A and B are shown apart, each in its own frame.
Chain A
Amino acid sequence: AQTVTQSQPEMSVQEAETVTLSCTYDTSENNYYLFWYKQPPSRQMILVIRQEAYKQQNATENRFSVNFQKAAKSFSLKISDSQLGDTAMYFCAFMNQIDYNNNDMRFGAGTRLTVKP
Chain B
Amino acid sequence: DTAVSQTPKYLVTQMGNDKSIKCEQNLGHDTMYWYKQDSKKFLKIMFSYNNKELIINETVPNRFSPKSPDKAHLNLHINSLELGDSAVYFCASSHPENLIGGLPYNEQFFGPGTRLTVL
A binding-site residues for B, Cβ under 8 Å = 31, 33, 39, 42-45, 47, 50, 52, 54-55, 89, 91, 95, 97, 100-107, 109-110, 112
17 additional contacts (CB under 8 A) given A52-B105, A55-B101, A101-B50: A31-B103, A33-B105, A43-B112, A43-B113, A43-B115, A44-B110, A52-B99, A52-B103, A54-B101, A100-B96, A101-B106, A102-B31, A102-B48, A102-B55, A104-B56, A105-B45, A109-B40
Residues of A within 8 A of B105 (CB): 33, 52
Q: How far is the CB of B6 from chain A (nearest CB, A)?
A: 11
Interface size on B, as a range, is 20 to 34
Summarize B's interface: helix, strand, loop or mixed: strand
Interface Cβ pair total, 8 Å cutoff: 64
B binding-site residues for A, Cβ under 8 Å = 30-31, 33, 40-45, 48, 50-51, 55-56, 88, 90, 92, 94, 96, 99, 101, 103-108, 110, 112-113, 115
Residues of A within 8 A of B101 (CB): 52, 54-55
Specify the chain A residue showing the minimal Cβ separation from B115.
Answer: A43
A89 CA to B43 CA, complexed, in Å: 12
Q: How far is the CB of A113 from chain B (nearest CB, A)?
A: 12
A69 CA to B112 CA, complexed, in Å: 32
